[in-house]
Homo-oligomer: A and B are copies of this chain.
Amino acid sequence: MRNFLLIGLFLVSTLAIAQRNNGKGMLYLDENRRPIYRENIMIPEVNGYEVLKCDFHTHTVFSDGHVWPNVRNQEAWEEGLDALAITDHIEYTPHKDDVKVAHNRGYELLKEGTAKNNIILVKGTEITRNTPPGHFNAIYIGDASGYIEGRSNEQDRAAVMKAATQNSFIFWNHPGWQPGIEGSYEWIDFVDDLSRSKALHGIEVINGFGIHLKALDWCIDKGLTVMGSSDIHNLVAHDYDRSKEYVHRTMTLVMAKERTPEGIREALDAGRTVAWASKYLAGKEENVRALFNACVELLPSHYTEVRGNGNKTNWYEIRNNSDLYFELEVKEGSGTKRVVLYPRSAQLISAPAATTSLTYDVTSTYVRSDKHLSVELPLR
């Protein structure tokens, strides 16, 4: 049979079977190569929407990032992203002695590669002003050149408004990133004006390794969309501990009607997003709840334990059918106090046989700066 190339190699050494040899003095050490594949992040559909993994805040050598744009494509593909934006700074180009300043260039260089990789490339930029107000990302933009670069309040406003006239989706970046600067983490007039002028559509509630909980409240109270993004400058593999199964770059989960640029834009405009930072989820309550319900499944009781005193305890299996992470703490009911649901895992919980439901805080989620998602699990 032709498949059995190694017939008879019963006691062959490990090395011999791991190396390829071209018969002309070359050995190829494929076993040392990293296997290259696209991660298929498992998140079930949520109310009929596909959950798309999107990062709309990344940098390259065309501003202050450390990599050529193709690395962002390569990373996004391997990490299973559905959509990506390069958002190099308009106003901050520290490599300009070596790299020609060209604000559309990152996008142009990536168009074909992302298309081949089945990644939706959204054109974007980062409008980078003093803090406050700080930085704004504009995605779905038109021409990225010609943005006003001054430092006055009027110039700042003009830059953001230009993005708005391009029908961009605009979000305020990492509002809490400079805790020492007064006004940097407040709902200031400048932002309020943008919001009222329909020139602000979302806020980065999570940026990289920081969660801006106050921004979550603003999103809810002002009707803005909750965003999460990596703001990656270095290599994703450098910053994130990807050896932990639950660690992914920070991103926005977008619940879209279809996996297209337009489908994503519709969902962003409608606010159907959850910011995802490895163990943490932050978003509007209805979105976080829908996501939780799609991912976590409580099975009917499989066993009744009768203890020495005649008391009966029912046992249940709770399954996480997703690559998300959830941590629960009981709030009402006398069942299992704490449940950690690693990606694609299950746990046992128990409660007295008479208990009909348990109420848990999902402490790995935020639906307000001071509030976790609360879920009532009916026991059968």
Binding site for B on A (CB under 8 A): 1, 3-10, 12-35, 37-42, 61-62, 65-68, 70-71, 74, 80, 95, 97-100, 102, 105, 112, 115-118, 176, 179, 185, 209-214, 234-235, 237-244, 247, 277-280, 299, 302-303, 305, 315, 317, 319-321, 323, 327, 329, 338, 340-342, 344-348, 363-364, 369-370, 372
5 tightest A-B contacts by CB?
Answer: A25-B214, A38-B346, A27-B211, A37-B345, A1-B370
Q: How far is the CA of A380 from the CA of B75 in the complex (A)?
A: 27
Q: In the complex, given contacts A29-B278, A33-B240, A34-B239, what are 9 additional A-B residue pairs having Cβ atoms less than 8 angstroms apart?
A: A8-B21, A13-B338, A27-B213, A32-B244, A37-B341, A38-B347, A40-B320, A67-B68, A116-B348
Q: List 9 A-B contacts (CB under 8 A).
A: A6-B20, A15-B363, A26-B176, A27-B213, A40-B346, A67-B235, A80-B346, A98-B99, A116-B303
Q: Is B241's CB under 8 angstroms from A35's CB?
A: yes
Q: Is B344's CB under 8 angstroms from A39's CB?
A: yes
Q: Is A40's CB under 8 angstroms from B319's CB?
A: yes
Q: How far is the CA of A17 from the CA of B118 in the complex (A)?
A: 31
A246 to chain B, nearest CB (A): 8
A118 with B20: in contact, given A37-B346, A176-B25 (CB under 8 Å)? no
Residue of B nearest to A237 (CB): B237
Q: Is A340's CB under 8 angstroms from B35's CB?
A: yes
Q: Quick one: which of B32, B235, B302 contacts A209, CB cutoff 8 A?
A: B32
Copies of this chain, how many? 4
Instruction: Report chain B residues within 8 Å CB of A71.
Output: 66-67, 234-235
Instruction: Report chain B residues within 8 Å CB of A176.
Output: 24-26
Q: Quick one: which of B10, B21, B33, B239 contacts A239, CB cutoff 8 A?
A: B33
A115 with B303: in contact, given A3-B16, A32-B209, A237-B235 (CB under 8 Å)? yes
Residue of B nearest to A35 (CB): B342
Q: Quick one: which of B6, B38, B67 contacts A21, CB cutoff 8 A?
A: B6
A241 to chain B, nearest CB (A): 4
Q: How far is the CA of A173 from the CA of B106 in the complex (A)?
A: 32
Residue of B nearest to A2 (CB): B370
Q: Is A23's CB under 8 angstroms from B37's CB?
A: no
Instruction: Report chain B residues within 8 Å CB of A3.
Output: 16, 363, 370, 372
Q: How far is the CA of A31 from the CA of B61 in the complex (A)?
A: 28
A10 with B20: in contact, given A118-B315, A211-B29, A303-B118 (CB under 8 Å)? yes
A74 with B238: in contact, given A211-B29, A277-B29, A327-B14 (CB under 8 Å)? yes
Residue of B nearest to A19 (CB): B6
Q: How far is the CA of A347 from the CA of B315 in the complex (A)?
A: 41
Residue of B nearest to A216 (CB): B25
Instruction: Report chain B residues within 8 Å CB of A13.
Output: 327, 329, 338, 363
